[in-house]
């Protein structure tokens, strides 16, 4: 299976600031996604990171708040902009490919104070 490195693993941020989360996959993958997981809850898809084009966002998530980049087939970033305490959550990068299925990074635990 692919190995996904995600950083930072955790951060405490001031409200009104932005944080960029990086996701690196050890092999080229077809698809990359970003999910959010509230404590004790299931995973919710934020967006599909499209290589070389704008990300595809799910209902309730917008580009101005969660800009995403995917410059190549192994790397993506998610920025959480103008943060508020409601953005405190775990953010997870995932990658999928027919060779190894659908795997996740270890997540970024974000606390906004």
Partner 1 sequence: GENVEQHPSTLSVQEGDSAVIKCTYSDSASNYFPWYKQELGKGPQLIIDIRSNVGEKKDQRIAVTLNKTAKHFSLHITETQPEDSAVYFCAASPSSARQLTFGSGTQLTVLP
Which residue ranges make up the site for partner 1 (CB under 8 A)?
A: 1, 4, 6, 30-31, 33, 41-45, 48, 58, 92, 94, 96-98, 101-107, 109
- Residue 30 is classified by DSSP as S
Nearer to partner 1, 13 or 45 (CB): 45
Nearest to 99 by CA among 30, 4, 48: 30
Question: Which residues, in sequence order, are bridge partners of residue 91?
Answer: 36, 108
Nearer to partner 1, 42 or 53 (CB): 42
Distance CA 51, CA 28 (A): 11
Judge contact between 32 and 53, C-beta under 8 A.
no
Nearest to 76 by CA among 58, 45, 54: 54
- Cβ at position 105, least distance to partner 1 in Å: 5
- Cβ at position 16, least distance to partner 1 in Å: 27
Residue 57, both tokens = 């966002």
- Cβ at position 26, least distance to partner 1 in Å: 15
Nearer to partner 1, 89 or 94 (CB): 94
Nearer to partner 1, 14 or 40 (CB): 40
């Amino acid at each position: 299976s692919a190995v996904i490195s995600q950083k930072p693993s955790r951060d405490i941020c001031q409200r009104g600031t932005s944080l960029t989360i990086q996701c690196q996959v050890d092999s080229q993958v077809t698809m990359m996604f970003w999910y959010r997981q509230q404590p004790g809850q299931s995973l919710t898809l934020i967006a599909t990171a499209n290589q070389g084009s704008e990300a595809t966002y799910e209902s309730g998530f917008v580009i101005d708040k969660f800009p995403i980049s995917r410059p190549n087939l192994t790397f993506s970033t998610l920025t959480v902009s103008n943060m508020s305490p409601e953005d405190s959550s775990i953010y997870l990068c995932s990658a999928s490919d027919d060779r190894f299925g659908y795997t996740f990074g270890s997540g970024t635990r974000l606390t906004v104070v």
